[in-house]
Amino acid sequence: MAQREILIAGGGIGGLAAALALALRGRRVRVLEKAAEFGEIGYGIQMGPNVYPILERLGVFERMAPHVVYPDALVLADGITGDELSRINLGAKFRARFRHPYFVVHRRDLHGSILDCCKARPEITLEASKGLARFLQDAQGVSVTCEDGSAYAGAALIGADGLWSPTRAAVIGDGPPRLAGHYVYRGLVPTEQIIDRSHLDSMVIYIGHNLHLVQYRLRGGTVMNNVATIESTRFKRGAPSPGDRAELEETFAQCAPRVRDMLRYFSFDRNWVLHDRDPVTNWTQGRVTLLGDAAHPTLQYLAQGACMAIEDAVVLAAEIARHGDDFNGAFLAYQQQRMNRTARVVLSARFFGAYIHAGGGARLLRNELLAKRDPNNPWEADWLYRGIPLPE
Ligand SMILES: Cc1cc2nc3c(=O)[nH]c(=O)nc-3n(C[C@H](O)[C@H](O)[C@H](O)COP(=O)(O)OP(=O)(O)OC[C@H]3O[C@@H](n4cnc5c(N)ncnc54)[C@H](O)[C@@H]3O)c2cc1C
């Protein structure tokens, strides 16, 4: 008898990576995506060397390669003085240490490449405008009802439905994610419009009290990706924070004129309000499990949320292959391998955010420590960047 389909709620980077990893192991998968189209927002994303071999194995990297940019260094600069504080070389020594490169890519190129790979697999069915509303499970399988009333039955359900995951609400029921009080603005501009061209080949992060601004180039270097984050002091004091343009400009008032001037590259039509969650000890219930932001949403300060979702995908597919139709066994083995690593990312990202956003005496100490860093092993990243053993 043919194996029953596995249902995945959510066709973001995590859900599609899981669909592809499962299809490559011969499993039939149906991805139910709430949005009217499978897509991603139009900004950049950083990818650590830990995720490179996985994207290669999934056949995604080959498709994406023409769009990938390899910055030569990760530069931390003091936003208040504009001076360089430390430089992490991303060249030969970095690649030798972590076995693979650090790269940046437009989110649409990453998501689109995974999507193209999924479309090429007969095992995968992709359905848009199918928001999971609820599910039921018994010893035989899972049935999902969508917001439009349509229903699907499958052998198991993977909730890859993001930060506000309804699957998580049913499996864990721990309420909404934690509001961090941090706000992000983004902007993409043609590189020729960039005035300060001192770090064009690098990824540069200007850091200041309660703020930072990241710049790196995308799409063959033709466009500059700009990301500005502020930690709202109003929010910290318990007052409501708009996190609006006025608050962004107020927070950036401490910065050197050439850093403040970079705010001209931003779009102010929307911002991102950052959330994460404290790590949990279980994200599986019977034949249902979680993946990516649904399981372990993180602040973006280590640039690893999507990388973790992609790592989840290959581990999960391997455990399903190993456990046959014992989905609960597979899901428990998967979460056991993923829990501490993803918890470390969540907690380290909080710490790194506080570190780069330091003010007063803490800023002076941080700057001194940064100046003493080894440019070839700057932040003891072996545990993260050396990646996971790739499952057989
Ligand atoms: C400012 C910022 C910068 C970041 N930078 C980086 C970075 O440089 N590197 C990195 O690795 N990560 C980064 N991240 C994190 C990364 O974007 C996320 O961790 C990643 O996108 C999570 O993927 P996901 O598939 O788990 O969730 P999502 O991308 O949120 O996808 C979830 C999908 O589920 C769908 N969905 C929602 N509800 C339902 C439902 N009821 N039924 C069906 N489908 C549903 C959504 O429409 C969506 O398509 C950043 C995040 C932010 C906010």
From the CB of 11, is ligand 1 less than 6 Å away?
A: yes
Nearest CA to ligand 1 atom 4: 300
**Helix 305-323 to helix 13-23 angle, to the nearest 10 degrees?**
30
Q: Look at ligand 1, atom 9, and give the residue with the nearest C-alpha.
A: 303
Of 47, 118, 300, the one to substitute when testing ligand 1's pocket (max ligand atoms within 8 A of C-beta) is 300
Tokens representing residue 300 in the block = 């973006």
Question: What pTM value is reported for the model?
Answer: 0.97
> Is 250 in a helix, a strand, or coil?
helix
Å from CA of 306 to ligand 1 middle: 7
Whole-number Å distance, alpha carbon 106 to ligand 1 midpoint, is: 14
Q: What is the C-alpha to C-alpha distance for residues 24 and 70, in angstroms, rounded to an integer?
A: 28
**Pairwise CA distance, residues 66 & 342, whole Å:** 30
The pLDDT tens digits of the residues spanning 275-316 come to 999 999 999 999 999 999 999 999 999 999 999 999 999 999
Which residues, at least 6 apart from 257, have a Cβ–Cβ distance to it below 8 Å? none
Ligand 1 atom closest to the Cα of residue 16 is 25
Ligand 1, atom 52: closest residue by C-alpha: 300
| Cα gap 375→380, rounded to integer Å | 11
Q: Cβ(184) to ligand 1 under 6 A?
A: yes
Ligand 1 centre to CA of 23 (Å) is 21
Going from the Cα of 29 to the center of ligand 1, the distance in angstroms, rounded, reads: 20
Positive or negative, the Cα torsion across 337, 44, 182, 36? Answer: negative
379 lines ligand 1 (CB under 6 A): no
Non-local (6+) Cβ contacts of 318 within 8 A are 21, 25, 391, 392
> According to the model, what pLDDT value does residue 1 have?
55
Q: Whose CA is nearest to atom 6 of ligand 1?
A: 303
Write the single-letter amino acid at 5. Answer: E
Radius of gyration of the chain (CA): 21
Provide the pLDDT for residue 133: 98
Is the CB of 187 inside a 6 Å radius of any atom of ligand 1? no
Residue 370's contacts (CB-CB under 8 Å, 6 or more residues apart) are 76, 85, 86
* Mean pLDDT, residues 94-122 taken together: 96
d(CA 17, CA 117): 9
pLDDT digits (tens, 9 = 90+) for 205-255: 999 999 999 999 999 999 999 999 999 999 999 998 889 999 999 999 999
